[in-house]
Amino acid sequence: MKNFIACLVFLSLLTSCNVTETVVFTEDGSGEFLVSYDMSEIMAQMEDAMGGGADDSEKKEPGEVMDTTMVFADIMETYKDSVAALPEEQRLAMEYVKDMYMTMQMDEDAGKMNMGIGMKFNSISDLKDIQNKIKKAQSLNSQSGQVDMMKSQTPLGALSGSDDNVDYNYSDTMFSRTTTIAEKTEEELEELNSLFEGEDETDKEFMQYFEASYYTVKLVFPKRVKSANVEDAVISEDGKTVTYKTSWMNYIKNPKSLDVAVTFYE
């Protein structure tokens, strides 16, 4: 349970890292959705800040290695008494995301750390509220108050995504990912404009952590792809995988930059 909570805390704070959204389809239209967060760069920054690697001659204890998957439904069953004792809002949130899972792979010596949250689906309609489920899962931690405070007092809130809705459609002839942009308040627009104009020195320093971050989309199909309407999209040699990406900053400015329409050979 402690590992589960720790993963939730990490997921609540993830923004300044490379994000990959992967959707894999099988022949019958079912599949798997996973958003993974590569935090290797964050690990390196933390080690540098703590003076790691200053003296290679010193013998160090082997670093931690972890490769685990935690299923929300299993957690709820194992700790059902604890879940039942949660405040109603948290208990209902757990119920809402019970079909999801979290992954964590870490190798401290290799400087690698990757976390993810995903869901297996029976049909494309199961993904209709996947963004809401991810956000709900990220909010399920005992330190959400501190996380909310951090987001409200730093540019993290403005840069951690939005309430935009993404629709996924899939048929025998096509696939599409379409974003409906949520209307922003005047205050939210002013905050974003201020960040991108870079007039505040503190904001400038904070924004440096996001400049080299990317959001990648990887789509795997059981049939060959004829075309994808995204510039620089890469189609695999077997013709069944489409990969494309945009910078995190561009994604925040224009969430529709990740939209795509894919057609298949008949």
Q: Tell me, what amino acid is at 116?
A: G
Token pair in block for residue 63: 């670093």
Domain count, the chain: 1
Q: What residue numbers bound the domain in which 61 lies?
A: 1-145
Nearest to 8 by CA among 90, 77, 80: 90
Nearest to 251 by CA among 174, 166, 170: 166
pTM, to two decimals: 0.80
Decide if 14 is inside a domain: yes
Decide if 211 is inside a domain: no
Tell me the pLDDT of the chain (266 aa) as tens digits. 555 545 544 544 444 578 899 999 999 999 999 999 887 765 565 555 455 554 555 556 787 888 889 898 998 899 889 888 888 888 888 899 999 998 888 887 887 888 889 999 999 999 998 988 888 887 775 444 444 443 444 444 444 455 788 999 999 999 999 999 887 777 766 766 666 665 566 556 556 666 778 899 999 999 999 999 999 999 999 999 999 999 888 888 888 999 999 999 98
Handedness of CA 128, 133, 134, 135 (dihedral sign): positive
The β-bridge relationship of strands 31-38 and 112-121 is antiparallel
Decide if 32 is inside a domain: yes
Decide if 213 is inside a domain: no
Decide if 253 is inside a domain: no
Decide if 252 is inside a domain: no
Decide if 11 is inside a domain: yes
Q: What is the DSSP letter of 255?
A: G
Decide if 184 is inside a domain: no
Q: What is the DSSP letter of 241?
A: E
